[in-house]
């Protein structure tokens, strides 16, 4: 099985964190390619950053599908560009937020996402609602910049721990979902520390991608995910249209 | 990986159908044990049959966990006894309805479950609602007895096909979920015939079970799935209490 | 009028509490028979205990209907086995949780259920949602074992009072519903103490049962409550199938 | 027990129909007084008519409470003025729509209200939603004026029958609720004809009123139903203020 | 453009506050007539007061339409009588609660209404739900009588400020809606003080009324807002029926 | 007042249609600038086209704000890029779908959006849900390409008419919302033809923009619409970052 993981921000060190998390849970026969988007912001913190991360993300999805990937994963917890990617690709595409929610729903009735910035809280609450988990899943923000997770000198991880503690005490959370791809390496440590299930969306998405490939299931193309209609582009953006860039 | 599948009705031929479906999608290293419940009705058609299928099911879950299964699957589309099984077991337990819904949600926005009897429609609608898929997922009944699916002389499969056609035409369904474990062997055939994703819950549940094992996730025990309190039983039913029967 | 009340746990002293509560509100011409289930756990605390209480409960429902009861009440606040009982019986069957919610909805906009164990909170929240009272009705747990309510040496009643106080202060509750059949004898005392409506589900269910009998209404049999299909049983459980045990 | 029924429209013949329906189901010891509002429109068809029916209705509620009624029923299916009446009165007040919905919810999962005029459909849908029955209960209008129900020469009853037939065929309705107090006398006839539970809100409200009296429950006064604050009135409307008219 | 504003309580000084707020935001060419209802309570605090404010309100709506108003505004935050007014009038009718909610939804994701009396909280929560803003909009009450807002000696405005502070701290409110027409003159001051958007429903309603007039949109008359059917009235209330009083 | 309208597709003739619609309803003192995005697809039909329209749209929003626009309108019915634009801009930003829904909610209880392509239906249903109009507003697609609306030889307008007819007959729609900016010029004609309110989102958005300016309300910046954090960009996309392109 060949699975593509796209980090839609342009920070290669975060891609490495993601790749490590994926490798730890992938099946023996699964070949994972983790790529960093070549265009856009170094981190995705809120709606604006998402907007500029999407074209580069879609380009990587298109390249990956051409290179025979059988499923693609978008490794940002906002599920950035997921709908557009599903319309573009014929292979299944999975967001790490939806993968984490679906997986956690099998092992807990109530759970809390702990994410980074307050401004990401509302977009995640919209996802939780759309994925049918409103009423089971709260969203908290630890008020930490995404890239601070990589900085040992910051107190980001302490803030994250503090917020997990509040979730367990005040939300009746039975499990914790880490709400940022950059937290993937903390999973095992936090499980031991808090003694509850702690869920990393990247790892979940890898297993869901393997599942869809094994089940022979690909995105339904009769509704909103119908393949894009080929049409003229104007201006400089044309050069980013994946099908054009890929020669297709 | 060792996965237990319990067919909570007492019809062994249906267990064989389920086991075949599971074997087709399991990983190479996965060892699947499919068992037929030793007690209860020969098919589960509605709330009443469910009630009598649960004790036998729980006994098999307990036996399976003692025999080192790492995850368990309940192979009835009503997700019969799922909450009680999750409270009983320490290993994760997966229902085929919830597995089918979660899996299909990655590849389609709208989908329809086609089940057997009209009386099963409302219980399934409650599950769809509880799993957060109301508004995306309709439930239809083909008005066929469960066991008629095994009878080549019945017109059960024609009725099923007819209802799938209506779902695609009238529900804006982009994918079809087969709403009975006994339909698992029809998946490939119906995909070819209707040219849309057709989803079998048994196969989905196998992949979700493998995923949870690989991810090291087990049922959260701090809420409604806390382990049962040991307490006295009165009357003949005592002999069915799994922990007692198992000597635990 | 002949009304059957089934205590689905096997503790006879709790049946006595229930019978007293029922007798206080029944009409002069109402004949109430309160029975203790002959099989299963001594108390129902969560999903697992529910599962083992159902077969014995259904047997009593069947016996009661044969003995000319005109309505049946299930005296456990989880509404244990209610759907299966409605499918089995031709007479109307009422759960004490649904009776309490429906009755309280006539006299208050917001109210809180105070139940026993934390593990029962989520099952009750599912009932509240299913009965259409989400948004009006919170659920709290006083963290007391069911049977401790009968033990004068325990501090169970103090804990219950404490939780009622929190409900009135923090939930904007205008009325309190006692979330366990074993609390029925406390109703009058707590009304006086807190000076708000305090509702006992057993008493409510008696009045609802009398109402249905007077109105000539019985369970609709065209949907999920259609009478069970007669079918073979395998294994020891067969002997518990009510129709078989009753010779029907 | 003394129960007051107020017909909030000013058509005495409809009050007689309502009183007959009430008498058929009341307990032996229940004394029912049915009064016709002295002010307002002859029938209530939509929001505008409701507005002008409320002051006269409230006056009758106040008079009834002063005359020692122990519960009051508002005999219009729009539950006209129910919230204001609950604030005014210390005795419990019951609407026939909410009584019908609560009662039917014990005997059927899905049901349909068949009302008179199309313009009443949306107000009833709002009630269905507010009472927590959205998803279980449809509303249909037979497109008949309220008073035509009393006119043997009209085809009103045929239209009603036609709409009931559609509800059973197309809504998966398992029971029918008659959506107008003026239909109360048709209940028995329609039950026989359609062989499903047919529910009259007036009869249901009588039983709910008896239940609340027996249970010793009255409207909670700590929230939106707190007793009105006495305050000056200006203009002619002052003379309709119930407390003023009643000398209180 | 000619816009009518009806203050449905009978306190003229509050009408003056409302008229000032309207004048501050109206277009140059807009002619605003603010009238005080001639009948009913001096303030509207809860369901009961609403009931007696409606007939006088409807009369003013009818008079205004006859006098060529092109749109009408109901200047009470409960949107008192809005549905009946829409049925009565051919010109569009706007409530200040719905106008405030719709307007605020363009500039904030989450917001809180701060109203006067606790007893008004639940009616406003029902409006928030009906207008589709549940989940985005909380309702708080500062526990102040409506008319105390006009009394400089009361501490009403301090209590209001306190509650706004709590909304910003605890509700994640990004904007504040003033939940009473009598607060309109505080808008600018509170914006400066709290440095968040503070929204006055009266001003919003004026702009929405101007918008509907400019867009040529009037109330749809094919559903629940169909014009009232002319019918006999009985009793003294007849003299309040707007069409009769207006000679129409 | 200075209002910017951005057509986020790159077809100038559609911008002209939009500008005409806006001019018809703008106040005398309102100066409207309608611009065509310089980059991206010639029409927006579904999720994929949206993704590529956003960067060019955001650039125009930034340019417009720098050029002293006081409010901005996004003239695509998918409300393309609305959240990102609100985060970017300090001036209020309005989508034509949300403007149409909010405006129509004042004049009708039920309404239907008729849009172009089937693949746009689901994205619009998500908007309807998010804006709180689920249950009141259906979405239909006439199955016509966006640009065919401008082609007199196509049968696009006939198909649109057909779908409007179905909405009025089958959806209980009391008003129709035209679900594409390119339909704006049809509004008057369709109102006459169908004799129900027909609503154009562009015109609505102009009035809402004028309203927000007059009310002195701008986007709340304390939540998800906090101004974007300045951060490094990598790759070619950097040159599209509005703040960079604008020198800010």
pLDDT (tens place) for every residue of chain A, 248 residues total: 999 999 999 999 999 999 999 999 999 999 999 999 999 999 999 999 999 999 999 999 999 999 999 999 999 999 999 999 999 999 999 999 999 999 999 999 999 999 999 999 999 999 999 999 999 999 999 999 999 998 989 999 999 999 999 999 999 999 999 999 999 999 999 999 999 999 999 999 999 999 999 999 999 999 999 999 999 988 867 767 787 777 65
Residue of B nearest to A137 (CA): B132
Query: Which of C173-182, D235-244, E136-145, F196-205 shows the lowest per-residue confidence on average (mean pLDDT)?
Result: D235-244
Instruction: Name the β-bridge partners of E137.
Output: E111
* E136 close to A (CB below 8 A): no
- CA neighbor of F139 nearest in space, from F107, F97, F86: F97
Instruction: List the structure tokens of A112.
Output: 């809390």
Instruction: Name the β-bridge partners of A221.
Output: none
How many Å apart are CA B104 and CA B196, to the nearest integer? 12
How close C169 gets to chain E, by Cα (Å)? 14
More reliable by pLDDT, D245 or D7: D7
How many Å apart are CA C109 and CA F144, to the nearest integer? 48
Enumerate the residues of chain C whose CB falls inside 8 A of the CB of residue B229. 45, 49, 145
Q: Given this model, what pLDDT does residue D241 score?
A: 78
How many Å apart are CA D178 and CA F38, to the nearest integer? 61
pTM above 0.90, yes or no: yes
Enumerate the residues of chain E whose CB falls inside 8 A of the CB of residue D62. none
Neighbours of E246 (CB within 10 A): 12
Enumerate the residues of chain C whose CB falls inside 8 A of the CB of residue B233. 10, 39-42, 52
Enumerate the residues of chain D whose CB falls inside 8 A of the CB of residue B129. 135
Quote the longest CA-to-CA distance of chain B.
Answer: 55
Instruction: List the structure tokens of B97.
Output: 């309805």
Q: Given this model, what pLDDT does residue F240 score?
A: 72
Over the stretch E85-135, which tens digit does the pLDDT of each residue have?
Answer: 999 999 999 999 999 999 999 999 999 999 999 999 999 999 999 999 999
Residue of F nearest to A52 (CA): F55
Instruction: Name the β-bridge partners of D114.
Output: D140, D178
Name the band, by pLDDT with cuts 50, 70 and 90, for residue D72.
very high
Neighbours of A79 (CB within 10 A): 25
Alpha carbon distances (Å) from B87 to B229, C45, E62: 10, 11, 64
Q: Given this model, what pLDDT does residue B239 score?
A: 67
- pLDDT (tens digit, 0 to 9) for every residue of chain C, 248 residues total? 999 999 999 999 999 999 999 999 999 999 999 999 999 999 999 999 999 999 999 999 999 999 999 999 999 999 999 999 999 999 999 999 999 999 999 999 999 999 999 999 999 999 999 999 999 999 999 999 999 998 989 999 999 999 999 999 999 999 999 999 999 999 999 999 999 999 999 999 999 999 999 999 999 999 999 999 999 988 867 667 787 777 65
Residues 68-107 of F with CB under 8 A from A: 81, 83-84, 86-88
Does the pLDDT value for residue B165 go beyond 60?
yes
Residue of C nearest to E123 (CA): C109
How many Å apart are CA A72 and CA A66, to the nearest integer? 12
Residues 217-246 of A with CB under 8 A from F: 223-226, 228-229, 231-241
Q: Given this model, what pLDDT does residue C152 score?
A: 85
Neighbours of E37 (CB within 10 A): 29
Residue of D nearest to E119 (CA): D224
- CA neighbor of C178 nearest in space, from C203, C213, C195: C203
* E122 close to A (CB below 8 A): no
Mean pLDDT of all residues in B52-70: 95
> To which residue do tokens 């690989």 refer?
B214
The yes-or-no reply on B/E contact (3 CB pairs or more, < 8 Å) is no
What's the mean pLDDT when you consider all of chain E? 95
* A152 close to B (CB below 8 A): no
Q: At what angle do helices C201-215 and D96-104 cross, to 10 degrees?
A: 100
Query: Which of A147-151, B22-26, D118-122 shows the lowest per-residue confidence on average (mean pLDDT)?
Result: A147-151
Q: Given this model, what pLDDT does residue E245 score?
A: 73
Question: Please, which chains are in contact with B (at least 3 CB pairs closer than 8 A)?
Answer: A, C, D, F
Q: Tell me whether residues D220 and C108 touch, CB distance under 8 A.
A: yes
Kindly give the parts of chain E with pLDDT less than 70. Answer: 236, 239, 248
Q: How far apart are the first and last CA of chain B?
A: 24
- CA neighbor of E52 nearest in space, from E68, E69, E39, E71: E39
How many Å apart are CA D20 and CA E115, to the nearest integer? 45
Q: Is F150 left (phi over 0), alpha (psi -120 to 50) or beta?
A: alpha
Does the pLDDT value for residue D248 go beyond 70?
no
Question: Please, which chains are in contact with C (at least 3 CB pairs closer than 8 A)?
Answer: A, B, D, E
How many Å apart are CA B168 and CA B191, to the nearest integer? 13
The continuous run of DSSP H or E covering F55 comes out as helix F47-66
How close E234 gets to chain F, by Cα (Å)? 31
Does the pLDDT value for residue F80 go beyond 80?
yes
Q: Report which DSSP code applies to F227.
A: P
Instruction: List the structure tokens of A184.
Output: 């993937």
Q: Tell me whether residues A45 and F229 touch, CB distance under 8 A.
A: yes
Strand order in the sheet with B93-95: B31-36, B2-7, B71-74, B93-95
Over the stretch A186-199, which tens digit does the pLDDT of each residue have?
Answer: 999 999 999 999 99
Name the pairing type of β-strands C233-234 and B40-41: antiparallel
How many Å apart are CA C16 and CA A203, to the nearest integer? 54
Over the stretch B217-245, which tens digit does the pLDDT of each residue have?
Answer: 999 999 999 999 999 988 867 667 787 77
Instruction: Name the β-bridge partners of D180.
Output: none
* B170 close to F (CB below 8 A): no
What's the mean pLDDT when you consider all of chain D? 95
Instruction: List the structure tokens of E160.
Output: 């209001």
Query: Cα A206 from chain centroid?
Result: 11
Q: Given this model, what pLDDT does residue F59 score?
A: 94
Mean pLDDT of all residues in D14-41: 96
What's the mean pLDDT when you consider all of chain B? 95
């Amino acid at each position: 099985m060949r699975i593509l993981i796209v980090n839609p921000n342009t920070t290669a060190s975060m891609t490495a964190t993601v790749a490590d998390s994926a490798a730890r849970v992938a099946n023996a026969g699964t070949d994972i390619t983790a790529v960093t988007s070549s265009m856009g912001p170094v981190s995705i913190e809120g709606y604006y950053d998402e907007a500029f991360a999407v074209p580069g993300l879609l380009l990587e999805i298109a390249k990956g599908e051409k290179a025979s990937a059988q499923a693609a994963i978008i490794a940002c917890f906002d599920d950035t560009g997921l709908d557009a990617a599903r319309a573009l690709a014929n292979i299944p595409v999975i967001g790490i937020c939806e993968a984490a929610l679906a997986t956690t729903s099998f092992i807990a009735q109530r759970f809390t996402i702990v994410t980074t910035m307050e401004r990401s809280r509302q977009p995640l609450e919209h996802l939780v609602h759309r994925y049918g988990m409103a009423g089971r899943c709260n969203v908290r923000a630890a008020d930490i910049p995404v890239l601070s997770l990589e900085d040992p000198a910051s107190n980001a991880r302490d803030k994250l721990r503090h917020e997990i503690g509040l979730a367990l005490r005040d939300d009746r959370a039975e499990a914790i979902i880490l709400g940022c791809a950059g937290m993937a390496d903390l999973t095992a440590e936090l499980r031991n520390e808090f003694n509850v299930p702690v869920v990393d969306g990247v790892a979940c998405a890898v297993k869901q991608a393997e599942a869809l490939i094994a089940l022979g299931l690909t995105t339904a193309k009769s509704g909103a995910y119908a393949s894009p209609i080929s049409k003229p582009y104007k201006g400089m953006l044309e050069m980013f249209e994946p099908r054009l860039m890929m020669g297709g």
